[in-house]
């Protein structure tokens, strides 16, 4: 017989998410759709805009005191950009921040990134409800009042 997981108490504040487009990729429609969906789900969203460096993203994440960094990468540079943002957050004392995101990322690369501390990644066409649910479940398990 399976027992239900013990529910975590809801946060007394919104989950703070920074959405960023690292690198030279100029297509941000998906990032804007995700940012709007997260905002509609009650999260506080900071969208950094296009052409962000990993250093700019990590600095903004620390300055804005976010819980989650979501990267949208369509350029193929995911194996460089996700680990670099993760590393910079750790160096800045914010290893507690969830680094997640999406783009055109082969499953074997997703597995490799996960092994390096990156959260679940989402491909094109994923319903935004999947991302929202993932972040809410992560927050319930990892964020203390």
Q: What CATH number is attached to the domain comprising 53?
A: 3.40.50.280
Q: Is position 10 within any domain?
A: no
Q: CB count, 10 Å around CB of 125?
A: 6
Print the domain residue range for 40: 16-142
Is the separation of the CB atoms in 72 and 29 below 8 Å?
no
Q: What is the pLDDT of residues 85-131, one digit of tens each?
A: 999 999 999 999 999 999 999 999 999 999 999 999 999 999 999 99
Rounded to two decimals, what is the model's pTM? 0.91
**What's the structural domain count of the chain?**
1
Let me know how long the chain is.
Answer: 145
In-domain check, residue 6: no
* Any domain includes 102: yes
- Does the pLDDT at position 42 exceed 60? yes
Query: Does 26 reside within a domain?
Result: yes
- Whether residue 93 lies inside any domain: the answer is yes
In a domain, 1, yes or no: no
User: Is 7 inside a domain boundary?
Assistant: no
């Amino acid at each position: 017989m399976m027992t239900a997981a013990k529910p975590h108490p809801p946060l007394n504040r919104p989950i703070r998410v920074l959405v960023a487009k690292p690198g030279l990729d100029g297509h941000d429609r998906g990032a804007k759709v995700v940012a709007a969906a997260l905002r509609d789900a009650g999260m506080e969203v900071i969208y950094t805009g296009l052409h962000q460096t990993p250093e700019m993203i990590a600095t903004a994440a620390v300055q804005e005191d976010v819980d989650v960094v979501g990267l949208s990468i369509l350029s193929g540079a995911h194996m460089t950009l996700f680990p670099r943002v993760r590393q910079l957050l750790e160096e800045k004392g914010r290893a507690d921040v969830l680094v997640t995101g999406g783009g055109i990322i082969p499953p074997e690369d997703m597995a490799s990134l996960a092994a390096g501390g990156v959260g679940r990644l989402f491909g094109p066409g994923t319903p935004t409800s999947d991302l929202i649910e993932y972040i809410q479940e992560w927050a319930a398990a990892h964020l203390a009042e």
